[in-house]
Amino acid sequence: MDFHGRTALVTGASTGIGAVFAREFAARGADLVLVARTGPALEQLAEELRAAHQVRVEVLPADLTGTGTAAALAARTEALGLHVDVLVNNAGFAVYGNVAEADLDRQLDQVKLNCAAVLDLTGRFLPSMLRRGTGTVINVASTAAFQPLGHMAVYGATKAFVLSFTEALWAENRGSGVRFLALCPGATDTPFFEVVGTDQAAVGARQTPSRWSRPPSGRCAGTVPRSSPATATRWLPGCPGWRRAGRSRSSPSACSAPPRHAGRGPVHQPLTLRRARSVHRMLFGGCGGTLEA
């Protein structure tokens, strides 16, 4: 799909999945607003994208755990004359350890970034999308959203919020022209684990995050027919056939069988009618290919 004339705002854009989103949108002609705490890394990425794709890239360094940060970002994009057509809530982090022993302020910051910032930014950019009758909100959740995680209790709960929130947004705004997607990657080789501080939070070997960008073509395995009532769009990136989330630390598009957590056996296929009626749709609707409308 041609994204010329559209603007995507990506949080956590300096590395990992966020940087992949930025590169993929730029390659399709989208202008970009890049948000992360690390200004120099954002500037480096912005220079790369401007040179490679001749798109407009604005860099807005910000700490989304801070009070009023989302409001300031919305005001700055408006002052730049930009309207956000695609919002990618990607920024997030995890703390590893028991709740009673881990740093409480750090755990609270998890909730601020992984939940409150997602709500705040969505609440500020969604109304204008609804007025225009078009737009996309992509919230990066996790396979951690589908089960409680001992030693990462807060992280798992925040990602369950992101998934539930996204599904609810879809239900509230059916027929509006705005699309909603919850991306649920498994363990991915990004600086995420450097922030966590231990590889015990991972399951299996790491793979590159860049492999997410071109999901497999063909009919999605286990999809619910489009005529059936779906509660949201979920993207559990998988290997060909869009299978369940991966056992290895995979890219957001290269996953295999269900992971095992804390010796409790496999986490079973989350996309079942028992869990929620859901459709594996591509980023902007449909089932195969790349970022097609």
C-alpha to C-alpha distance for 132 and 155, rounded to whole angstroms = 34
Q: Would you say residue 226 lies in a domain?
A: yes
DSSP 12: S
Whether 15 contacts 190, CB under 8 Å? yes
Q: Is residue 273 part of a domain?
A: yes
Q: Are 235 and 280 in contact (CB under 8 A)?
A: yes
2 in a domain, yes or no?
no
Residues 282, 59, 17, 166, CA torsion sign: negative
Structure tokens at 209: 């995050």
Q: State how far the Cα of 47 lies from the Cα of 281, in Å rounded to an integer.
A: 32
Name residues whose C-beta falls within 8 Å of residue 195's C-beta, 6 or more positions apart in sequence.
93, 94
DSSP 191: T
Q: What is the pLDDT along the chain (293 residues), one digit of tens a residue?
A: 789 999 999 999 999 999 999 999 999 999 999 999 999 999 999 999 999 999 999 999 999 999 999 999 999 999 999 999 999 999 999 998 999 999 999 999 999 999 999 999 999 999 999 999 999 999 999 988 999 988 999 999 999 999 999 999 999 999 999 999 999 887 765 544 444 445 555 444 454 454 444 433 333 322 222 322 333 444 444 333 233 333 344 443 333 233 333 333 333 333 332 332 332 333 333 333 223 22
Instruction: Please tell me the total count of domains within the chain.
Output: 1
Residue 216: the pLDDT is: 35
Task: For residue 14, give its domain range.
Answer: 7-280
Residue 288 within a domain? no
Q: Measure the CA–CA gap between 21 and 8, rounded to whole angstroms.
A: 9
Contact 251, 278 (CB under 8 A): no
What local confidence, expressed as pLDDT, does residue 189 receive? 55
Residue 272 pLDDT: 31
For residue 149, is it within any domain?
Answer: yes
Strand partners, 180: 137
- The answer to whether 173 and 123 are in contact (CB under 8 A) is no
Contact (CB, 8 A) for 97 and 151: yes
Q: Catalytic residue numbers? A: 155
Q: How many CB atoms lie within 10 A of CB 114?
A: 26
Residue 235 in domain = yes
How many secondary structure helices (H) and strands (E) does the chain include?
7, 8
Crossing angle of helices 69-79 and 117-132, rounded to 10°: 30
Nearest CA among 156, 69, 75, 62 for reference residue 120: 69
Q: What CA–CA distance (Å, rounded) separates 69 from 67?
A: 6
Question: DSSP secondary-structure letter at 213?
Answer: G
Q: What is the CATH number of the domain that holds 121?
A: 3.40.50.720
